[in-house]
Amino acid sequence: MSETRLIHGFHAVTAKLRHAADDIQEITVAEGRQDGRMRELLKQAELRGVRVITADAKRLDGLACGAQHQGVVAKVAAQAKHLTLDDVLEGLTEPALLLVLDGVTDPHNLGACLRVADAAGAHAVIAPKDRACGLNATAIKVASGAADSVPYIVVTNLARSLREMQESGIWVIGADGAAEKELYAIDQKVPCAWVLGAEGDGMRRLTRETCDELARIPMLGSVESLNVSVSAGICLFEARRQRRG
């Protein structure tokens, strides 16, 4: 039997139904719930031939390990799709726009970064195998469907992967609060990858040294740093702004 994982929440499960229903083995929903969101989810499941079972709150809480499941939990294939960066780059019809996360260990932050990457049209999110939370149920729920629309690529050696990006013609930009240049001074119309570390710790030394250049987000108030997903949004949408011009 293939390995499975559990996802929960209306956004995550509905997105999986729409984009990859064949990966869903079954959906467990709260018994007696008949509101509009649940009716729509059940309709989508019926249209795609996905098995739905009902359960009480205790059973759902156990499946979701106590997380806020909103009354819906789905069992899906653990690794429905193995993508490499080459797979992503080969299919592009525009300059690459990538988000690289170094040291992001909070699944809520990862989920938010995936959501931002989806909104900005980033082609993939890349993270190392170590010092990362991985794409767990919490991250998938927070991503609100983006975990199924944005490729999430795990690499063994991040510095080596950055060098491979550079060899492919991708300009690697590290977000660093101590950098001299502001991100608005960086040409992002070329294929580029933004590298961000966790709030507070930032990127690891080797990751920083591997970047082609560093840039900072100008901070005009009293706070010293931003959440990594907020920073990611600023950087990626600046790339989109430049490309529209």
CATH number at residue 110: 3.40.1280.10
When pLDDT is cut at 50, 70 and 90, the band that residue 2 belongs to is: low
Which residue among 42, 59, 77 closes a domain? 77
Domains of the chain: total: 2
When pLDDT is averaged across residues 68-92 and rounded to a whole number, the result is: 79
Q: Is 184 helix (H, G, I), strand (E, B) or coil?
A: helix
When pLDDT is cut at 50, 70 and 90, the band that residue 217 belongs to is: very high
Kindly report the CATH number assigned to the domain that includes residue 57.
3.30.1330.30
Structural domain harbouring 232: 85-244
In whole numbers, what is the pLDDT of the chain averaged over residues? 90
When pLDDT is averaged across residues 179-184 and rounded to a whole number, the result is: 96
> Which two three-digit tokens encode residue 183?
């991100």
pTM (predicted TM-score): 0.74
| 122 and 184 co-located in one domain | yes
Supply the pLDDT for residue 81: 54
CA–CA dist 78, 81 (Å, integer): 9
Which residue among 77, 100, 116 closes a domain? 77
When pLDDT is averaged across residues 13-17 and rounded to a whole number, the result is: 82
Give tens-digit pLDDT for 105-153: 999 999 999 999 989 999 999 999 988 888 888 898 888 777 777 889 9
Supply the pLDDT for residue 1: 40
Residue 80: is its pLDDT beyond 90?
A: no
Residue 233: is its pLDDT beyond 90?
A: yes
Q: What is the dihedral of CA 209, 184, 201, 171, to 10 degrees?
A: -30
> E strands of 33-133, at which residues?
52-55, 72-77, 97-102, 124-128
| 63 and 121 co-located in one domain | no
When pLDDT is cut at 50, 70 and 90, the band that residue 79 belongs to is: low
